Structure 1
Amino acid sequence: MVSQEKEARLKYEKEEQERLEKQRIEREKWNLLEKKDLERRSEELEELALLECCFPEAEKQKREMRVLAQWKHYTECDGSPDPRIAQEMNTFISLWEEEKNETFEQVMEKSKLVLSLIEKLKLILLETPSCDLDKSTVLQYQGSILRLQELLSLKVNVATELLLRQASNLADLDTGNMEKIIKDENVTLYVWANLKKNPRYRTVKFSQTQVGFEIPRILATSNVALRLLHTPMTTSHPCSPLLSLRKNTGP
């Protein structure tokens, strides 16, 4: 009987020691986690304090850069409109709307300025604090961006149509179909027109390029033209869709 009580007591003491040891280990783990959490919070508070100290200076530098950019625009005197001034933008857009029968090369050259104005307006909206931009100014900038995008898209379409009117003069000697490539640093235009309407000629590849496509059999004998506008990944070009297929139902 005494032996059983002794064994029970020893077993209890062992289990109690194991329980206490387990609690000690868990407590150490918890203390370590709390310490790491406090260190992390301390680092975050230090970073936040640093950011709060730097924020006014950063805002000051942004304002100075905006003023400098505006002054630079005036001193350059290159004839381009100030995107911040509605009257200048309206005049620029109206004058370009009045220009007719522009070639695609002329439109591409003008698009450099147009894309630059769009990017400047987007940057102003992105970087200017909301407290420095009232609602009417935001709407003005957004409206200018939209008008420029729509007008550029229209100009590209009109210039493409003018190009297609010369399709027979631009026919490829081998295929008899029109193939034309026009490119600059912002965009590359590929235009193809189906002049021969040969049902066996369904695979098209622009000469000296890796650009090509295959047309359905039903279109191989139709009056169709295809335009592909390729822009770099870094260029935000408003002309969309990039691929357009036009079918002429006339003779």
Structure 2
Amino acid sequence: ERLEAESAVNAEWYASRVARLAAEQEVGLAATEWGRFIACSERPNVMSEAEVNAFLTEWRERSREDIWKTLPTCTMATELIASMDVEGAHAHDRGDEKMAMWQRELSMLIFEQLLSKLDGATADFMLHAEEYVNAKMECCVTVAARGCHFGLWVNLAKNPRVKSIEYANLNISVELPKSLALASIAVRIVQYETDFVSPYASPEAAAAATFMTLGGVVKIELLSLPPSAKKVKGWTMRPVTEMTHTVMRQQYPIPDASGNIPLNAPPLRITYAIPKNVILQESEPQRVGWWDDKVQQWKLDEISDIAYTPETRTISFDTLHLTSLALLQHTHLELPYKNWLISPTTASSGELYLQTSGVGLVHISISANGTVLKAPRLPELKELLDTPLPASTLLIRLRAAGINLMPRDVDATQLERVTPKDASLEVELHDAIAPLAARYHLCSSRWNPSRGHAKGTLRFAVKEEGYGDEAPSTETPAEPFAVIQPEWATLEYAKRRVLLIAATDADDTCDESALPETVAHSTPLECLKDRDPDLADVLLSSSRLYQDSVRQLMDNLRLLSFTQSA
């Protein structure tokens, strides 16, 4: 009853916090909208469902164009989808589930239309392939469009001496078995800068995934050739078939005349370049997987002889699966976290230091303007460093670069002694403790992992030295965790119940009894306001956008679920 009474008394104060956050968000969204306006971008506003729908409708109704006119529009589509994926995650973090849902749905429809446009342009090229042969009777077209590299080899010569296809300007090659060199087929490769495959798996398949892609996805397909044109009295006669309008895919190995699939078919060897903004960690062996549409998961079977060449950043491998292929990395490579610390620099800014099991120390500055990556300062992260971004945007781009700091419950199954907290507890806890980042150091507690899924513990201490400087240093200290003291107080959080407990990290056992002269409260603020008379004034002066950035980071990082303190 006392906890319920506290909640009732504080209802007005919490309502005012919600109103302040909404007002600050409105100012931020207005500034973002103005930035889009003065940029005069041709791309539709990804926060406007009407604009995105209008783009999709206009593109769908546009007549078929050749491959050189189609690819620039595909570039815009890939950039639009990537932006919508990021904005959708940010909308989810803000609690705008309606926007997140329509952005995901429209992203899927735009990608379906992209595939349809590529098929139409490919069919158009193959109808006139004989017009594009070179002096060696070879027919190969490449378009290095941004975000969507396209290559198509049409086998008109059927020359048994052809051993490989070099897709000029794409840094992609395919070694062919003799059976394909003699077949009436085309080999199409599309390299997407972003993974447009696994993010659109079913929620159940996505929740079970333990691999993520590095460097986008390469899709290779065998296509049937349309019937040849005939010259009759100066006229060119082209049969009208299904392949006049779209492509017809072939399986590999190609069935024989009786429909039987040959046994022991030789694999194709594929080589392509990994982008320079992708980190390949030495502790992780190179794995290449193929996408199984039926189960909506990446699989590793029947891909062999994988070789990586650091000098050219190329990956080579043999495969019998001609479908979406990608370099894969385990999603839990950075886990478990070894330590973390959130340290305020002013009432509206702070620093997050996170020690991971992969790249090591990650340093993120937090303010009302969002989050800024300060470390690790790796060349692959050059475009991300020192740039303000929403929390989810930064973490999504770090994941694309090979640093996954967005763990899910399935990652715990790959680790020892890691028990994720209940999802509802995490959300409630992060929302409750984020305001404390305006005044307190917050850090991991050695007792947190052993509290199970229904409780969480963390430590805190008032930040005094250097606090409130107008221009705080954001350089990464050599020993950021040296400030943490074993005697710092421990806060224990359960559903709608917060308690300052006797246990500290200096103790041999966890004493969960209340500190002298304290009782359980409904929120951390109730626990601390009598002990810290300045807390209320600090929170009034603190930006709600800063506090919400802390909350969003914690929601995504899941620090209390995936930290194993030493």
Residue in 1 aligned with 2:224? 247
For 2:223, the aligned partner's letter is R
Question: Does residue 162 in structure 1 map to residue 124 in structure 2?
Answer: yes
One of 124, 130, 151 as aligned partner of 2:113? 151
Instruction: Give 1 or 2: higher helix fraction.
Output: 1
1:82-101 equivalences under 5 Å are: 82-101=45-64
Q: What is the root-mean-square deviation of aligned Cα atoms in Å?
A: 3.2
Instruction: Give 1 or 2: higher strand fraction.
Output: 2
Judge which range, 91-100 or 125-134, deviates more: 125-134
Superposed displacement of residue 92, structure 1: 1.2
Superposed displacement of residue 97, structure 1: 0.5
For 2:222, the aligned partner's letter is L
Residue in 1 aligned with 2:89? 126
Contact 1:82–1:88 at 8 Å: present in 2 too? yes
Superposed displacement of residue 95, structure 1: 0.7
Q: For the residues of structure 1 that align with 2:166 and 2:40, how far apart are their CA atoms?
A: 45
Residue in 2 aligned with 1:28? none
CA offsets per residue over residues 85-132 of structure 1, 9 Å max, x none?
A: 222222211110011121222222112322232222222222235453
Contact 2:149–2:170 at 8 Å: present in 1 too? no
One of 181, 186, 208 as aligned partner of 2:147? 186
For 1:187, the aligned partner's letter is C
Judged with a 3 Å threshold, the aligned counterparts in structure 2 of structure 1 residues 191 and 249 are, in CA distance, closer, same or farther, namely: closer
For 1:245, the aligned partner's letter is L
Unaligned runs of 5+ in 1: 1-56
Contact 1:201–1:220 at 8 Å: present in 2 too? yes
Superposed displacement of residue 188, structure 1: 2.6
Unaligned runs of 5+ in 2: 1-19, 198-215, 229-566
SS of match in other structure, 1:84: coil
Question: Does residue 117 in structure 1 map to residue 94 in structure 2?
Answer: no
Q: For the residues of structure 1 that align with 2:84 and 2:195, how far apart are their CA atoms?
A: 13
Alignment: residue pair count: 192
TM-score, structure 2 normalization: 0.30
Superposed displacement of residue 78, structure 1: 4.2
Judged with a 3 Å threshold, the aligned counterparts in structure 2 of structure 1 residues 110 and 168 are, in CA distance, closer, same or farther, namely: same
One of 65, 77, 100 as aligned partner of 1:102? 65
1:210-229 equivalences under 5 Å are: 211-229=172-190
Judged with a 3 Å threshold, the aligned counterparts in structure 2 of structure 1 residues 206 and 108 are, in CA distance, closer, same or farther, namely: closer
Judged with a 3 Å threshold, the aligned counterparts in structure 2 of structure 1 residues 208 and 186 are, in CA distance, closer, same or farther, namely: closer
For 1:194, the aligned partner's letter is N
Judge which range, 238-247 or 84-93, deviates more: 238-247
Q: For the residues of structure 2 that align with 1:152 and 1:92, how far apart are their CA atoms?
A: 12
SS of match in other structure, 1:242: strand
Contact 2:74–2:148 at 8 Å: present in 1 too? no
Contact 2:139–2:154 at 8 Å: present in 1 too? yes
Judge which range, 82-91 or 189-198, deviates more: 82-91
